[in-house]
Amino acid sequence: DAGITQSPRHKVTETGTPVTLRCHQTENHRYMYWYRQDPGHGLRLIHYSYGVKDTDKGEVSDGYSVSRSKTEDFLLTLESATSSQTSVYFCAIKETGRGQETQYFGPGTRLLVL
């Protein structure tokens, strides 16, 4: 399972409240990613990190911020949650080996914004 955990696994919150999702990995991977998955859209990249304090935007970054203060943790923050951010959020790491780079996913966080 590439040693990835996400917390919380489920969350219900109200519009306008801040929310932080945590991704934790135990295998010292340099690259980490946050995706959201919605019906009819597939997986879309929100933000990614290529090292401690090194992050960049993905396809759907508006309304989200991230932080990576140590290798093992990548945090996704919704500063002021909106109903359009109701989604399933997946964290992923990139593993390099045997001539290829592969992304492996965490178990996901289901977020409902009321």
Partner 1 sequence: GQNIDQPTEMTATEGAIVQINCTYQTSGFNGLFWYQQHAGEAPTFLSYNVLDGLEEKGRFSSFLSRSKGYSYLLLKELQMKDSASYLCAVRDYYGGSQGNLIFGKGTKLSVKP
Token pair, residue 93, equals 């790491």
- Pairing verdict, β 109-113 and 10-13: parallel
Token pair, residue 69, equals 């203060």
For partner 1, which residue of 16, 56, 70, 80 counts as binding (CB under 8 A)?
A: 56
Q: Can residue 70 be called a binding residue for partner 1 (CB under 8 A)?
A: no
Token pair, residue 67, equals 């932080």
Q: Can residue 112 be called a binding residue for partner 1 (CB under 8 A)?
A: no
- Which residues on neighbouring strands pair with residue 36, listed in sequence order? 44, 89
Q: What are the residue ranges of helices labelled H in the chain?
A: none
- DSSP, collapsed to helix, strand or coil, labels residue 40 as coil
Q: In terms of CB distance, is 17 or 26 closer to partner 1?
A: 26
Q: Can residue 33 be called a binding residue for partner 1 (CB under 8 A)?
A: yes
Q: In terms of CB distance, is 28 or 99 closer to partner 1?
A: 99
CA gap 84, 67 in Å, rounded:
22
Q: Can residue 89 be called a binding residue for partner 1 (CB under 8 A)?
A: no
Q: How far is the CB of 80 from partner 1 (least distance, A)?
A: 26
For partner 1, which residue of 10, 28, 40, 97 counts as binding (CB under 8 A)?
A: 40
For partner 1, which residue of 28, 42, 53, 97 counts as binding (CB under 8 A)?
A: 42
27: which DSSP letter? S
Which residues contribute to the site for partner 1 (CB under 8 A)?
A: 31, 33, 40-45, 48, 50, 56, 58, 90, 100-108
